[in-house]
Structures are given as structure tokens and as C-alpha cells.
Amino acid sequence: MIHEFSKSLVDKEVIFEKDDHGDKAYIVDSGRVEIYLTDGETETPISVLGVGEIFGEMALVDGSPRSASARALGECQLTSVSKDQLSERIEQADPIVRLLVNMLIKRIRENNDKLTKSIPGNESLDVKKESKEELEVIKKIKFEKELEVALEEKQFTMHYQPIIDLSTKQIAGFEALIRWNSPIHGLVRPDIFMGLAEETSLIVPISNWVFEESCRTFKHYQVNFPFLELFMSINISGKQFSDPLFLEKIQTVIKNLSLKPSDIKLEVTETLLVEGEFVKNQIDALRDLGFMVSLDDFGTGYSSLSYLSDFSFDNLKIDKSFIDKMNTDKNTAVIIEAIINMSKGLEVPVIAEGIESPEDARKLHDLGCKYGQGYYFSKPIDKHAIIKLLQDNPKFRI
């Protein structure tokens, strides 16, 4: 599938000319591109670029007109990179890095100017090799562009993983987990792309979509299974949380769907709590509105215990890494028991993640853990598969 940001060119086709105003940079996907200077009569080649190289980025960085011209050398294919995509990163960069980049660009421009003034012979040029780091950055920029397209073309989809009440042994709720159905890479897990999305402002529209889609699905379950009392857990990202419109947005969504805020558990991780006062106020405001807030990945951060005393939560999720070692490591077993006991005192019910056997489920239940989630009960599955599961409403054996 060819996306609109991917472009095919014929031999000698001009991509841009010196002094043009530039609003795009390009990555060479196949073939070669020549960067050259011309004074109308004589032409001076500056470089020949090959697959994986980026060009046209200088005008995007410093806003000046193009300092050289570019054209296809034979047939070639390019990915274009928008100004927004780069400028966002540059604005966020360390001021010293920004200064260095601007100085380098200035130097390159001065060199190009000198070259135009004294046009030499037409030496043959080697295709320049990019360093490994440059290749990584280019890969990242391309991937980011793909994510933007994924959002536009509705390639994201939600899966839902049942959360079981370990006393009744039946489904109590779900965790909504995003998947990317990419035409190029297939079904991509969130660990691969959510980190990258989080580095850019793309995370906000993606997360807004996650919230709306999960709530819509949840409403559907409520309407179809009115006798089951269920909840929906939704992961919240850091940037989304600091969006000043966050509270307003999620309230509008649940109001439009006539959901109760208490139907929704917002999962926040310890990394998000590092930010202090603002986050604390935001969590309190959410809980005042009636939303449930769960502390996710408990025990993996630096100061898990201090978070419990500084913030108020409705649930605590023990990280899968603890459950994995529950049977093989005595210390881990002791820590899990201590967390569950502590949560009883705090009146914050525990959800254990990553349960892969009935024995683990039973043990956790006996320790007083309220909820369990894991492949033993069900992997994350799509919304239609959840409907089938709810029709059976199974009682799990633990």
C-alpha cells in the first residue's frame, strides 16, 4: 500500500530548487537523489544520496529558503516529512543542541554559497554513508509518520482483557489495550509504538480515541448484559494527563454515552506520579468526579510506597514481574503477601496482573487479593470475542 506521504519520481524530476521556501524534508526509500547548485548555466553537484538518507531538513530547522536544489537520479521513491513533525522535536530539544544544530546549518549554507561562486569541474561523487545513529533517527521519523497515518486511516483497534473477581471467579471488568493493525508490520503490540507516540504530541489524539472507543464498547456491554456489574479499565498516558482539557474531554465522552464515572477505572503508572503537585490535584479531581483511579505496575518504580502515602487510589495493580517470580523466589512471595496485607489496611483492593496458572490464582485469592488478570483466564481479545465470553459468563476454576 502506497501512502500519500510516499512519492515516486522519474529520472531528473526536480524535488525542489535553490531559494524555494521549504515546508518538507524527504527520506530516500529507493533509488538516488542528487543535491546540486546551479547559476542558470553551470551546475555543481554537491552530493548524491542513497536509500535511508534524509535531505531538505535544513529549511525546516531554520526556516530559511532552500540552499541547494534536489532532483531524482533515475527513478526513485521518497517519504516526505512534514515541518510539524520535525519542529516539534526541535522545539523540545535541549537549547544547547538547538544552538549547535543552527550553527552547523549556518556553516553548511556558507559553504554552499562559496561553491556557487566558484563552480568547479564535475567530479564523480560517492554515495555518502549515514552513521548508525543517523539511521536510527531516520527510522524513528518514518515510524512516527506511519503512526500519524495510522490514526488518520483508523488502523488502531482495541483489545480487552477480562479481569476476574477471585472470590466469585467470574468476570468483573476489563482492561482496554490498544493494538495497531498496520498494513506494513501486521498487528503491532503497544510496547513497540506507544513509547514513540508518547515522545510526540500524537499520544494525545491516540489516547482520546482509546478512551472514546473503550467507553463506546463498554456501553454496548452494559446494554447487552444489564445484569452484570462490570467496569472498564483504561490506561492513561502522561501527556494526556497533563492536557488541560483532559477532565473536560473524558467527562463529555461519558456524559454523551450516559455512563457513570464509577464504571471507569483510569490506570496511571508510577512514572506519571513523579511530576508532583499538578498530578496529585488531577487525581483528586478525577476521584471527586467519581472516576476510579488505579495505580498500575505497582512496585516497579523508585518510591512505590511513598506514592501510596502521597496520593489516593481506588485500586492497586501488582506488576506481572512479581507474579512471574511468585513460585520461584521466596522474597518475592513475601513482598506480594506484604503488599496485599498493606492494601487491606489502606482499603485499596489489589488487582494481580499476569496470572498464568490456576495455582497462582488460588494462592493470590487465599492471600486476600481481590482481582486477577492474566493469560490463564484470557488473553486480550477483540470486542466481539468479549461478547461471546459474556454470553457464557464462565466461572473460572481456581
**Which residue has 512505590 as its cell numbers?**
304
Chosen residue from 191, 277, 347, 392 binding ligand C2E by CB under 6 A: 191
Q: Does 213 bind Ca ion (CB under 5 A)?
A: no
Nearer to ligand C2E, 200 or 237 (CB): 237
Alpha helices in 201-319 (DSSP H): 203-224, 238-242, 246-256, 270-273, 277-289, 304-310
- Contact flag: residue 296 with Ca ion (CB under 5 A): yes
Is the CB of 178 or the CB of 292 nearer to ligand C2E? 178
Rounded least distance, CB 270 to Ca ion, Å: 10
Q: Are 166 and 369 in contact (CB under 8 A)?
A: yes
CA–CA gap between residue 33 and residue 19 (Å, rounded): 18
Residue 235 binds Ca ion (CB under 5 A):
yes
Task: Return the residue of 34, 146, 148, 297 that touches ligand C2E, per CB under 6 A.
Answer: 297
The binder of ligand C2E chosen from 375, 382, 393, 395 (CB under 6 A): 375
Residue 349 touching ligand C2E (CB under 6 A): no
- Placement of cell 522474597 in the chain: 331
The answer to whether 297 contacts Ca ion (rule: CB under 5 A) is yes
Binding segment toward Ca ion, per CB under 5 A, in 259-267, 281-289, 329-337, 362-370 = 259-267
78 binds, among ligand C2E, Ca ion, none (CB under 5 to 8 A by kind): none
Cell 506488576, residue located: 319
In sign, the C-alpha dihedral spanning 167, 168, 172, 175 is: positive
Residue 164 binds which entry of Ca ion, ligand C2E, none, CB below 5-8 Å type-dependent: none
Q: How many residues does the chain have?
A: 398
Alpha-carbon distance values, 122 to 44, 45, 47, 48, 127 (Å): 7, 7, 11, 13, 15
In the chain, the amino acid numbered 63 is: G
> What are 188's strand-pairing partners?
180
Cβ atoms of 378 and 162 closer than 8 Å: yes
Contact between 360 and ligand C2E by CB under 6 A: the answer reads no
163 binds ligand C2E (CB under 6 A): no
Among the candidate windows 19-27, 84-92, 289-297, 379-387, which touches Ca ion by CB under 5 A?
289-297
Q: Which residues contribute to the site for ligand C2E (CB under 6 A)?
A: 161, 176-178, 189-191, 194, 207, 210, 235, 237, 296-297, 320, 353-356, 373-375, 380
